Amino acid sequence: MRIAIGLEYDGTAYNGWQRQRTGLGVQARVEEALETVANHPVEVVCAGRTDTGVHASGQVAHFDTDSKREPRSWLLGANSNLPDDINLTWVAGVSDEFHARYSATARSYRYLILNRVQRSALFRQRAWWVYAGLDADRMHRAAQALVGEHDFSAFRAAGCQAQRAMRNISTISVTRDADWVTIDVTANAFLMHMVRNITGTLVAIGSGDEPETWAGEVLQSKDRTRAGVAAPPHGLTLTDVVYPGAFKLPPNPNADLR
């Protein structure tokens, strides 16, 4: 039997999603909690491996089991064995054709920037504090050069193991609400550090250090050394993963909190 789960977590204390030989990954904690309910070893496969310090409000994963439990039992049993910074948000039985990674058709990330002179104690692990003034409208216009299917080599990390750098960004927006600047990106898939590198580039444009055309120029260069600095990981959250309707997955209960 294959079970799909929705997950939220604060990535501050973890070395990313993946189980680690040294350090702690979110995956290990989730598997340990599910094993207490299943009474057998469990391997969890996620939709997208988040990096060290990156958060999730809409992660999706699956695992296989021979144990027969109601979704409510999986949910409550796992959550009672998880630390406070990791939580299952839903559980659903799915067909064996479902795969959390390969069945996904789109993924969405949000990057949060606090743009004011004073830093924040409350959001120090959830947003990038940028004290220099940012023009969000200018950033948004610049970002539209990245929409569509492109070679995103200029925005991938040196350690990225993806065989191809072609990705398709369907939407990207930059908005401001008082002191908060939010970057929302949806694509079919992402390269390692891709959103963080895009964010660093857009911040350089928003501050006036680079022209609006720079994002497109960096993209066309396919050269990582041409892009801006990588934004810190703690401002990034995986907010949603989209699947074909035929799988009938529950809606993301955090959709309004993104």
Active site members: 51
Whether 226 and 42 have beta carbons less than 8 Å apart is answered as: no
> 233 Cβ partners below 8 Å, 6+ apart?
11, 51, 52, 53, 54, 196
